[in-house]
């Protein structure tokens, strides 16, 4: 059975590539007959992941009639498309550790946990027996001919890097064309590439994977999705998101205190979320201090009779203060399009936070009610944080599984967590468009229940 979740493998290009026994020491206790769960002692059991293991994409079964209006697990999928490949160490590997030169690159913006992932990629590579591990400085730019030198990595180098935020290797946007990147990889004799980044970076990683295939190079390219916005398809969550929500709560709490302590105080907090409002929604839910949450997925009116400003007036009259949380990609229709693009070709958004702040000021002046408006944009403070405990664990497992995937011979894949299990996806399946908050979802309605906000249309 062929599925769109089948993973590209080195064997697709090198049919004669023969595997060797894994050099990764599993350290599992050999099960005996009295082992809990009762593995028969003659059965082969070693703890490695079987290549045929799968994880179910969606685990809910709706009955009819239901709020979801569906009867089967996922009516849009054939059964094979409901299963994705399980991540983890394989019994057979397709690279001799001593022949591996592994490189790690971090691209795009900062995100809590980058150093944790780098660290665990290095540590796991060393456990496999890899001696040549390097970091590429400043994203894909490090593959250009600007003379940026690679950074030798080892357990000693990475031991404490997770104690601070940012990326040991540096990040950047833009960079050389794919063919130059692969030229550079050939020159440096890199045959395992770990790419940490968002949608753009993964599009690049997939193009590098394809170019390597075209050139007949035995190279494994494995991505680790980095999106603080949590907007990657099919995944439970991506690293950095949890930390971002936790830190966003602090900003919300400050805005609340400022608003609450002022006469007719209004706090406005802008949070990350270019195309999806997961951070704003979760931070609002977590803090319990937000009166109005605005996200890109849900259109709203600012000035109209049912608009945000009227509701703010109502809140000020009713309880004397209010706190608004707005995702950066929300309400872009109100703003003048800049048409500007960053080095990676992403459209530069206009600042909705400042706009909401200014319009609120103007509005209260016009209606003759005094209001004290405070604006907080904690974006860079959040992005630069070190990962919290739960992200730390997620990063650890993702880093380890990235290395297992490369040694297993997969390329053009990325790692993720799906229904609490760790999985591999073919890159194109997760980057075709960003994951968004469903305005009909339970979670968004829980958020509305928590803020008490009306529909602003």
Closest CA to 393 of 269, 284, 243: 243
Binding partner of residue 265 among ligand ATP, Mg ion, none, CB cut-off 5 to 8 Å per kind: none
- Between 230 and 450, CB nearer to Mg ion: 230
Task: Supply the minimum distance, in Å, between the C-beta of residue 227 and Mg ion.
Answer: 8
Question: Integer distance in angstroms from the first to the last C-alpha of the chain?
Answer: 48
DSSP reduced 3-state for 334: helix
Number of residues that bind Mg ion (CB under 5 A): 3
Buried b (16+ CB within 10 A) or exposed e, 161-180: bbeebbbbbbbbbebbebee
- Between 174 and 428, CB nearer to ligand ATP: 174
Is 159 in contact with 168 (CB distance < 8 Å)? Answer: no
Closest CA to 116 of 196, 193, 192, 171: 196
Binding partner of residue 173 among Mg ion, ligand ATP, none, CB cut-off 5 to 8 Å per kind: ligand ATP
Instruction: Using only the alpha carbons of the chain, give its radius of gyration.
Output: 24
Task: Supply the minimum distance, in Å, between the C-beta of residue 188 and Mg ion.
Answer: 26
Place of tokens 């400022």: 258
Full DSSP string of 40-73: -TTS---SPPPTT-EEES------SS-TT---SS
Task: Supply the minimum distance, in Å, between the C-beta of residue 345 and ligand ATP.
Answer: 6
- Between 198 and 409, CB nearer to ligand ATP: 198
User: If phi over 0 gives left and psi between -120 and 50 gives alpha, with beta otherwise, what is residue 240?
Assistant: left
What percentage of the chain's residues is helix, strand, coil (to nearest 5)?
35, 15, 50
Binding partner of residue 115 among Mg ion, ligand ATP, none, CB cut-off 5 to 8 Å per kind: none
> Sign of torsion, CA 173 175 179 181?
negative
Residues that bind ligand ATP (CB under 6 A): 107-109, 139-140, 173-175, 197-201, 203-204, 207, 227, 344, 346
Task: Supply the minimum distance, in Å, between the C-beta of residue 369 and ligand ATP.
Answer: 40
Binding partner of residue 273 among Mg ion, ligand ATP, none, CB cut-off 5 to 8 Å per kind: none
Strand pairing category for 83-86 and 132-136:
unpaired
Task: Supply the minimum distance, in Å, between the C-beta of residue 159 and Mg ion.
Answer: 30
Q: Considering 34, 180, 183, 229, which one is annotated as catalytic?
A: 229
Residue nearest to Mg ion (CB): 198
- Between 105 and 418, CB nearer to ligand ATP: 105
Task: Supply the minimum distance, in Å, between the C-beta of residue 174 and Mg ion.
Answer: 12
Structure tokens at 90: 């394989």
Active site residue 229: yes
Binding to Mg ion (CB under 5 A): which residues in 184-223? 198-200
DSSP reduced 3-state for 157: helix
Is 196 in contact with 206 (CB distance < 8 Å)? Answer: no
Binding partner of residue 140 among Mg ion, ligand ATP, none, CB cut-off 5 to 8 Å per kind: ligand ATP
List residues near Mg ion by CB under 5 A: 198-200
Active site residues: 229
């Amino acid at each position: 059975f062929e599925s769109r979740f089948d993973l590209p493998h080195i064997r697709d290009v090198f049919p004669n590539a023969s595997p060797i026994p894994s050099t990764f020491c599993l350290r599992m206790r050999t099960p005996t007959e009295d082992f809990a769960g009762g593995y028969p002692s003659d059965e082969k059991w070693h703890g490695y992941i079987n290549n045929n293991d799968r994880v179910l994409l969606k685990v809910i079964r709706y009955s009819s009639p239901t709020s979801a209006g569906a009867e089967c697990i996922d009516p849009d999928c054939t059964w094979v498309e409901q299963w994705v490949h399980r991540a983890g160490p394989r019994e057979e590997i397709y690279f001799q550790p001593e022949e591996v030169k592994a490189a790690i690159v971090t691209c795009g913006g900062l995100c809590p946990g980058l150093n944790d992932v780098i660290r665990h990629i290095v540590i796991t590579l060393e456990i496999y027996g890899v001696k040549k591990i390097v970091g590429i400085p400043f994203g894909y730019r490090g593959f250009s001919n600007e003379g940026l030198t690679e950074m030798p990595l080892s357990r000693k180098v990475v031991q404490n890097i997770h104690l601070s935020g940012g990326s040991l290797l540096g990040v950047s946007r833009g960079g050389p064309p794919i063919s130059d990147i692969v030229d550079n990889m050939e020159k440096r004799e890199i045959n395992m590439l770990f790419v940490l980044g968002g949608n753009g970076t993964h599009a690049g990683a997939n193009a590098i994977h394809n170019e390597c295939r075209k050139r007949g190079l035995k190279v494994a390219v494995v991505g680790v999705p980095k999106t603080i916005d949590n907007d990657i398809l099919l995944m439970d969550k991506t690293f950095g998101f949890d930390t971002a929500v936790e830190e966003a709560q602090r900003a919300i709490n400050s805005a609340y205190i400022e608003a609450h302590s002022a006469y007719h105080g209004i706090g406005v907090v802008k949070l990350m979320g270019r195309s999806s409002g997961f951070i704003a929604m979760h931070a609002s839910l977590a803090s319990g201090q937000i009166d109005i949450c605005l996200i890109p997925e849900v259109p709203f009116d600012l000035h109209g009779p049912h608009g945000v400003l009227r509701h703010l007036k109502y809140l000020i009259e009713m309880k004397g203060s209010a706190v608004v949380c707005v995702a950066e990609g929300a309400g872009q229709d109100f703003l003048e399009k800049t048409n500007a693009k960053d080095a990676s070709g992403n459209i530069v958004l206009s600042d909705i936070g400042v706009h909401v702040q200014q319009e609120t000021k103007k509005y209260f002046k016009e209606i003759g009610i005094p209001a004290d408006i405070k604006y907080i944009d904690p974006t860079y403070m959040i992005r630069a944080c070190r990962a919290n405990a739960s992200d730390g664990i997620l990063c650890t497992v993702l880093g380890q599984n990235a290395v297992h995937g490369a040694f297993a011979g997969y390329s053009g894949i990325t790692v993720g967590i799906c229904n609490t299990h760790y999985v591999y996806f073919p890159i194109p399946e997760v980057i075709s468009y960003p994951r968004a908050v469903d305005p009909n979802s339970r979670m968004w309605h829980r958020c509305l229940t928590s803020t008490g906000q009306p529909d602003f249309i």
